Structure 1
Amino acid sequence: MKTRIYLHVLILFLIVTFICHSSENAINEDSRSIDLVIKLENVSIGGTLIMPSNLKTNSLVIMSSGSGPQDRDETLEGFKIFKVIAEHLASKGIASFRYDDRGVGVSTGDFVNSTLDNHSKDLEGIMDYFKTKNKHSFKSFILFGHSQGGILAGKVAVENASVKKLILMAAPAVPLVEVVLYQVRQDYNQTNISNSLIEADVSAHNKLMWAIEDGKAIKEANQLFLQTTETILYEINSETKVDSSAIKEQAIAKAETYKMIYGLPSLTSYLYYDPASDLEKLSIPVLSLFGGLDYQVPIHQNKDVLENALLKSGAPYKFITFDKANHYFQEARTGKREEYAILEKNFVPDFLKKISDWILEYK
């Protein structure tokens, strides 16, 4: 069986002198689309500002995408998630800015070696840019994070008084390591692998991630991962004649691949970060959106943790669950990744309206 954790993490659940160049395009008679390049301390961040002619809120919505290098539209399986949201918000008089991750589109920098702190500085730099602009100036912001972008949005929100609202779209409330381990188990659905072997594999992943985080016993953890993988491959092929050397090669390749993946700064800086520790310090309104068929950031793993953090904070919050929505909030059949590409590139009914209504409710 080919494990798909890398794709899950990358889709999941894997700063100050400013100079701006811009171009404007009309998206409709009531709004303007303005492409910007914001030069920060060490990188340039490209993005698109949509300005409605009749603003109904003084806050700018800034969108941060999920894990892995994403463009400003957060184009996933051909679905331009952030572009669709931004254009809807504009139609309701709400301005927004969405941006390319480091190393994507016109943004410079190295995404793979960027950390949560780097991403936080980028987002803070974007806010500082709009605070200092004469044209299209904003003093308050609504941070909108999808999936792993919600971890970033929550961190920046609690550290910046200019953030007035927070929107979390399928965002983890537990450390990402827990989401990854959930995904490992999910990969064994509809297989005949014994529970004991599944749990051995979960432990092998867990020990490898921690060894890399801790900087100790990496060789031993990698060897355990290799041996566990080899055992599972023999189990999968138990009813066929297998080449033991081929099994060994597959196990070695998988172990080396995961040692590399779990060592990427763009992942490791998130793995053991606790989003709830930020959320419990919030005092601003929070909207959290869940997909009933989200198998990447499942409700049962995250919703209660998120709610407990917000109850502790005393922040006003609203949770909305869309029963038939997957991780992208498309109307899904199963919610599994395999069907993302074949689903219509639309959100479930009322998804967009619920977001704009909530934003305008708290002016």
Structure 2
Amino acid sequence: MKTIKSLLLAALSLLFYGHISAQAIKQKEVVFKSKADSITIGATISSPVKAGKYPAIIIVSGTGPQDRDGSMAGTKMFARIANYLTPKGYVVLRMDDRGVGKTTGGYRYATTADFALDVLGALQFLKTEKNVDLRHIGLLGHSEGGAVISIAASQSKDVAFLISLSGLASNGLESLFVQNENLVNTSPMTAVDKKRSNEINRLMFATAFQYAKSDSMESKLNAVYSYWKQKDDLYFKSLGIEHDHFRFPIWSYVQQAIGPWYRYFVSYDPRIFLSKVDVPILAINGSKDVFVDPVNLAYWKQYSSAGQQGKVTTILLPNVNHLLQACQTCLPAEYTKLGEMPDSTLDAVVKWLDETVK
């Protein structure tokens, strides 16, 4: 009976805590303008109910059009972050990407630099909120969002701190090399096809980098591929294997590469922006992240002015993937089976915020 009573009390405590947490948050939908062109951005602001001035955080998404909740692989990463940080005394703004939800524009026509202008629009809007401490507004970026917040922070003195969650701090070309080799090397391809895939990927990425600012990029990519394909056909015949199952998606790759986002991204150099950023930075990566390699943690320190001043804190989480989930195989196919990031990761963020920002 004592055990049952204890369990009931524990359950009631959890329900009470959940009720208090929910009551400690108020949310409102807002719309504001980007600092770029005529984009209108839809967002949600989560705030503590109690009156006062609070530090504020803008959440910035990674590659691909995402909604304000950060709906990925069955999780709602950004909504979870907002709901976790707000009861701890932080205002959190999360927004729909271009062409998603209540945000206008087309995602496919924008670059990482354009996304930074959207963030600066969010920053200007937050400065009009009465419960925001204007001295303590920071940016939290996931994946490519790490590059976005680096650009935005380099362009505004109003950014007080940065938080990178699996955030990019390497240059665009290197990140493409490393990311794709991670994905290829952990795939079920044969050793021969892994070799071929890594070879053509590197060749195409390097060509895209070389001609990123050229009108001839499309013809150059096709010419380089044709040259490689002739050599590769001879190589495959020399192996004496009956069927060739390897295919490089040349048409779709070229169409992506000649677009504005890819041209900007492959040329992206974080040192240009991070060298101007001297605010405190927290960078967290999973050791099994195949999209943003953990080596990026070192770059946050190496490239930023903040790093030179000892104001960068890095945390490497063992056996954790790109979505900051504790993982087994840690491959993308597993993501939908793993649930949300654990409280311990968000506790580390709160601890750093309390010590650094408040």
Residue equivalent to 1:42:
38
SS in 2 for 1:28: helix
Alignment of structure 1 residues 343-362 onto 2, 5 Å? 343=338, 345-362=339-356
Over residues 207-252 of structure 1, what are the superposed CA-to-partner deviations in whole Å (9 max), with x where a residue is unaligned? 431254031464233232245357668849963346xxx98xx65x
Over residues 245-292 of structure 1, what are the superposed CA-to-partner deviations in whole Å (9 max), with x where a residue is unaligned? x98xx65xx211111111221232222111233223222111000101
Segments of structure 2 that go 5 or more residues without pairing to the other structure are 1-19
| 1:342 Cα offset (Å) | 2.0
Counting aligned pairs with the same residue, the percent is: 24
Cα distance in 2, alignment partners of residues 131 and 349 from structure 1: 29
SS in 1 for 2:200: helix
1:112 paired to 2:108: yes
Q: Decide whether aligned partners of structure 1 residues 35 and 239 sit closer, same or farther in structure 2, where only a CA change above 3 A counts.
A: same
TM-score of the aligned structures, taking structure 1 as reference length = 0.81
Over residues 34-90 of structure 1, what are the superposed CA-to-partner deviations in whole Å (9 max), with x where a residue is unaligned? 111214450110011001124786321000000111111111112111110110001
Q: Decide whether aligned partners of structure 1 residues 289 and 187 sit closer, same or farther in structure 2, where only a CA change above 3 A counts.
A: closer
8 Å contact 2:99–2:106 — kept in the other structure?
A: yes
TM-score of the aligned structures, taking structure 2 as reference length = 0.82
Cα distance in 2, alignment partners of residues 76 and 120 from structure 1: 21
Cα distance in 2, alignment partners of residues 230 and 238 from structure 1: 17
Cα distance in 2, alignment partners of residues 82 and 142 from structure 1: 15
8 Å contact 2:145–2:167 — kept in the other structure?
A: yes
Cα distance in 2, alignment partners of residues 349 and 145 from structure 1: 18
Over residues 79-134 of structure 1, what are the superposed CA-to-partner deviations in whole Å (9 max), with x where a residue is unaligned? 1111101100012121100000110111000111012332122111111122234x
Q: Decide whether aligned partners of structure 1 residues 98 and 217 sit closer, same or farther in structure 2, where only a CA change above 3 A counts.
A: closer
Query: Which of the two has higher C-alpha Rg?
Result: 2
1:91 paired to 2:93: no
8 Å contact 1:120–1:156 — kept in the other structure?
A: yes
Q: Would you say how many aligned residue pairs link Structure 1 and Structure 2?
A: 328
Q: Decide whether aligned partners of structure 1 residues 105 and 334 sit closer, same or farther in structure 2, where only a CA change above 3 A counts.
A: same
Q: Decide whether aligned partners of structure 1 residues 138 and 43 sit closer, same or farther in structure 2, where only a CA change above 3 A counts.
A: farther
Cα distance in 1, alignment partners of residues 163 and 332 from structure 2: 24
8 Å contact 1:54–1:93 — kept in the other structure?
A: no
SS in 1 for 2:212: helix
8 Å contact 1:56–1:360 — kept in the other structure?
A: no
Q: Decide whether aligned partners of structure 1 residues 227 and 153 sit closer, same or farther in structure 2, where only a CA change above 3 A counts.
A: same
Say which structure is richer in helix.
2
Segments of structure 1 that go 5 or more residues without pairing to the other structure are 1-25
Residue equivalent to 2:14:
none
Alignment of structure 1 residues 258-277 onto 2, 5 Å? 258-277=253-272
When the two chains are superposed, the root-mean-square deviation of aligned CA atoms in Å is: 2.8
Residue equivalent to 2:203:
204
1:192 paired to 2:181: no
